[in-house]
A and B are shown apart, each in its own frame.
Chain A
Amino acid sequence: MPKNLVLEHITKKFDKIVAVRDMNLEVQQGEFICFLGPSGCGKTTTLRMIAGFEIPTEGIIKYDGKIINDLSPQKRNFGIVFQSYALFPHMTVAENVGFGLKMHKVPKDQIEKRVDELLEMVGLEDQKYKYPPELSGGQQQRVALIRSLATYPEILLLDEPLSALDAKIRVNLRAEIKRVQVELGITMVYVTHDQEEALSISDRVIVMNHGYIEQVDRPIEIYKNPKTKFVADFVGTSNFFEGTLYGNVLKDKGGWGEFVVAKNVLENSRITSGNVSLSIRPEKILLFKTQNEIPKEYEKRNIKAGKIEVVTFLGVIVRILVKIGESHVIVDITEKDFEKTMLKMGETVYLYFPPEDFLAFQS
């Protein structure tokens, strides 16, 4: 029987503020899941309830079939990695890593053995007798990681573990956490506000907002098929158009005129009429220098002319802000295409919005 973590109708209130509302979730044993959302969305509160530092106001938390709502954090044996590392500054690296084992009354020689094995796992054998302040941020977080793994926790909880680190170290350590997770086959619950981190590392992403789960899905689905307008907006970059839907034509309120939307897009989102938001990713929009280049079969109503206002070089892609009337739209093209077309600021360009690449949300 796999040991699953189940959250049923979990609500957490602080006085009158509702941090988490009626959350339902099942985490499989060995799974890597990420809570993703802006600050104050309830992701950290959820993690703290799983850890046992907060008790749910309503609902139950089950682990391995048993209700653990009131079980003290010591008895859950879930490891935790904190954003601030939370290493004990008065203990050496070895003492930090061995602390949990000492608390579990493991004999000294066994502690020594386990500490060495863990230090080896993250390549910190040389730092054994140093004190945390003598280590770099990345090394400190590695120590915090193995410290939380020492007592063979069944779930590892990570609360924004990388957000205090530099971008480069962040990417390295992210890979290392993933490697450790695969190696040990441990369940990991990871909290972050960094979408790149969430999408790259986890098996499933839980996007949260205002205490609600917006969507639970594999990273690719979160990106390609956001279920709500919030997810489309929060994960990646999207252009939005608000308007009223007649058949499969959106009459835009912002002066864009009309957009034709592919029928299957509307069917997939079960939208027939009314006030609707359309979104489209910047890389889905096609950009043409002249009208002649546009294939004849393209839907005329989805072609808009505008002026290039800002060009931002982002490495592999080039982000172009195009002004159409009083509104703006973001278009991404590859660096290669950008070189070829030699676009300039102020130049008039034609944008094509493919009907099948829209996402529709009822507003």
Chain B
Amino acid sequence: MAEARTIEVKPVKTVLSDQAIANIIITIFAIFFIVFLIFPLFQILKTSFIAEGKLTLKNYFEYFGKSYIRKSLWHSLYVSTVTTIITTTMAFFVAYAITRTTIKLKSFYKAVSSLPLMAPSVVQALALISLFGRNGLFTNWFEAKWDIYGPVGIIISEVLYCFPYALIILITTLSAVDTRLNEAAESLGAGPLTVFRKITIPSARYGIFSAAALGFNLTITDFGNPIVIGGDYNVLATEIYTQVEGMQRFDLGATISVILLVPAVLAFVLNNYFTKRNYALISGAARPFLRPSKPGVKVLFTGISMLISLSIIIVFLTIFWTSIVDVWGGRAGQSKQILKWLTTFSLRHYDFAHRGRSINVVWTSLWISAVVAFFGSWLTLIAGYIVEKRKPAGHQLLYLITVLPAAIPGLVLGLGYILAFIKVNWLYYKASIIILNIIVANFTLGMLNTMTNMKNIDKSIDEASTSLGADLPKSFFRVIFPLSRTSFWNNMLFFFERSMVTISAVIFLVSPKVDLASITIIHLIDDGYFESACAMSIIVVAIVVAVHAIFITIFRRKGLDVL
């Protein structure tokens, strides 16, 4: 006995099967990454190992033969190691303060520490120079003779730059580590210091290692801060820039790139490894009630947290102030009039046209970032969906490739683009090459966001949609996309912000025709317009903070989480 039908339902018609669509999409992504990631990297290797048509180590002999250039490797390793130790230690204390003590103003510390993520990695060095540089406020005030240009300046800048990244990892670690262990140890008679040494630190060890590896990677690949405050103290990143931009030595630039790739990739791999171990350790742990901390503990941790938060705030206040006074820091030998100099305001530093630059770079940055945000968020969502939910042949390989960009220093990828696409008219010195580069360079984090989100969507949901007659595009737009809005919009914001503030990825790719705000900061310093560089930094930071605030407001209203 069959059911009497009340309506008519015709079979579904599809042109392409889901499998064919998934295969086409994965092939397009594969080609995309081969052309815009693998090929440029290959060009770097080729340029460094081949001279006059022969495989040779000539470039490497030249690098290690010239003592001035050779030093950049040791400089890089030294600066990165010291920065890593200081950053990880400080971030650990602040993370501990936020997760394990009952100090006040926790959300203030967290909010402040997210500020550096919204600025080009050059503001720290700018602020240091404003305060302690040759014509710095304190230098003139105290008529001091100190020298901030060099390793000390780089290390302080990098600590302030890397701190937020390390802090995020350590907060996650410490808030998830099971505090019942501490209580068990205490009940067995261990004192607070013993508990800290024997329980807290060991149980958070993978988080600490992971934060340290990330800090090392960020420092050794950073370009903005060392180029501004390094002076004669060259590091690998600045040396690549000098060789390529200054000497037109693409071969040496590529060679130093390969040398930089080794520690950078190593640190990245370690970070990945420790992150995995860390998550294995922290999943599913309980979070009991936090007992009130002792007054002494509170004072200590408030002190450390406040010190770092204030330093970060001072960075932004300083560059803002520098940008709006007529002459910052006054003149050497006139320390008495310092207050007068500080309160003589002027907007002349925002007149970029008089400094051979144009405010148009801001518009270029804005529209390029908008395009990057749009394509970056869609591409990562599609790739994440195909890899995690449809799993066509080769999906694991595609996943591995998408993880690769995070390991590659931006400067190296940028140089690779120049070497690879110098003869491609629609790319070379065009906006298109900048957009592609920023999307590829930041693909990893966007993809990881999407993958986490996809894993949270039940596999059956996608299959239910399929069995009800929806083909792959319909499942994607009607079911998967509405359930991925949180990660999608967060990714859009992420790509926009990275695109606004990145320096190292695009410094080789800009041209007088297509120039960006973040790069203009570097050019203005080169040209001696330090205050205008601060002004441009403030514009970039203001835009990013404003867009961030708008997104967060919309998220709240739409009930989306902020990642």
Most buried by B among A53, A74, A144: A74
Q: Is the CB of A51 within 8 A of B467?
A: yes
Of the four ranges (under 10, 10 to 19, 20 to 34, 35 or more), the interface on chain B belongs to: 20 to 34
Interface check B247, CB cutoff 8 A? no
Of A95-103, A247-255, A299-307, the stretch lying at the interface with chain B is A95-103
Q: Is the CB of A100 within 8 A of B469?
A: yes
Interface check B468, CB cutoff 8 A? yes
Chain B residues in 8 Å Cβ range of A135 = none
Distance in Å: Cβ of B470 to nearest Cβ of chain A: 5
For window 17-69 of chain B, which residues contact chain A by CB distance below 8 Å?
17-19
Distance in Å: Cβ of A107 to nearest Cβ of chain B: 9
Of A18-26, A77-85, A282-290, A345-353, the stretch lying at the interface with chain B is A77-85
Chain B residues in 8 Å Cβ range of A79 = 467
Interface check B464, CB cutoff 8 A? yes
Q: Is the CB of A88 within 8 A of B479?
A: yes
Please, could you name 8 A-B residue pairs with CB atoms under 8 Å apart, sorted by A? A75-B14, A82-B460, A86-B458, A86-B463, A104-B11, A147-B464, A151-B469, A186-B3
Of the four ranges (under 10, 10 to 19, 20 to 34, 35 or more), the interface on chain A belongs to: 35 or more
Q: Is the CB of A86 within 8 A of B469?
A: no
Closest to B20 in A: A72
Interface check B461, CB cutoff 8 A? yes
Chain B residues in 8 Å Cβ range of A77 = 11-12, 469
For window 143-160 of chain B, which residues contact chain A by CB distance below 8 Å?
none
Q: Is the CB of A99 within 8 A of B465?
A: yes
Chain A residues in 8 Å Cβ range of B10 = 104-105
Chain A residues in 8 Å Cβ range of B388 = none
Interface check A148, CB cutoff 8 A? yes
3 closest cross-chain pairs (CB), A and B: A100-B468, A103-B469, A86-B460
Closest to B2 in A: A185
Interface check B188, CB cutoff 8 A? no
Q: Is the CB of B469 within 8 A of A152?
A: no
For window 217-273 of chain B, which residues contact chain A by CB distance below 8 Å?
none
Closest to B458 in A: A84
Extra contacts, 14 of them, besides A52-B467, A77-B469 (Cβ < 8 A), are: A74-B14, A75-B11, A82-B463, A86-B461, A88-B479, A89-B483, A90-B483, A99-B468, A103-B12, A103-B468, A114-B7, A144-B464, A147-B464, A185-B3
Given known pairs A74-B466, A74-B469, the reply for A113 and B7 (CB within 8 Å) is yes
Distance in Å: Cβ of A141 to nearest Cβ of chain B: 12
Pick the contact of B468 from A52, A83, A105, A151 — CB < 8 Å? Answer: A151
Interface check B397, CB cutoff 8 A? no
Interface check B191, CB cutoff 8 A? no
Cα A111 to Cα B19 in complex, Å, equals: 29
Closest to B7 in A: A110
Q: Is the CB of A82 within 8 A of B464?
A: yes
Cα A77 to Cα B11 in complex, Å, equals: 8
Chain A residues in 8 Å Cβ range of B12 = 74-75, 77, 103-104
Pick the contact of A113 from B6, B14, B18, B478 — CB < 8 Å? Answer: B6
Distance in Å: Cβ of B312 to nearest Cβ of chain A: 39
Chain A residues in 8 Å Cβ range of B470 = 74, 99, 103
Q: Is the CB of A84 within 8 A of B460?
A: yes
Interface string of B375-407 (1 = CB under 8 A from A): 000000000000000000000000000000000
Pick the contact of A152 from B3, B19, B463, B482 — CB < 8 Å? Answer: B3
Q: Is the CB of B9 within 8 A of A72?
A: no
Distance in Å: Cβ of B267 to nearest Cβ of chain A: 34
Interface string of A111-135 (1 = CB under 8 A from B): 1011001000000000000000000
Cα A73 to Cα B12 in complex, Å, equals: 10
Closest to B10 in A: A104
For window 437-482 of chain B, which residues contact chain A by CB distance below 8 Å?
458, 460-461, 463-471, 474, 478-479, 482
Chain A residues in 8 Å Cβ range of B465 = 88, 99
Chain A residues in 8 Å Cβ range of B14 = 72, 74-75
Q: Is the CB of B1 within 8 A of A185?
A: yes
Chain B residues in 8 Å Cβ range of A104 = 9-12, 469
Q: Is the CB of A152 within 8 A of B467?
A: no
Q: Is the CB of B467 within 8 A of A72?
A: no
Closest to B17 in A: A72
For window 56-97 of chain A, which residues contact chain B by CB distance below 8 Å?
72-80, 82-90
Cα A73 to Cα B462 in complex, Å, equals: 12
Cα A26 to Cα B469 in complex, Å, equals: 25
Chain B residues in 8 Å Cβ range of A183 = 3
Chain A residues in 8 Å Cβ range of B1 = 30, 185
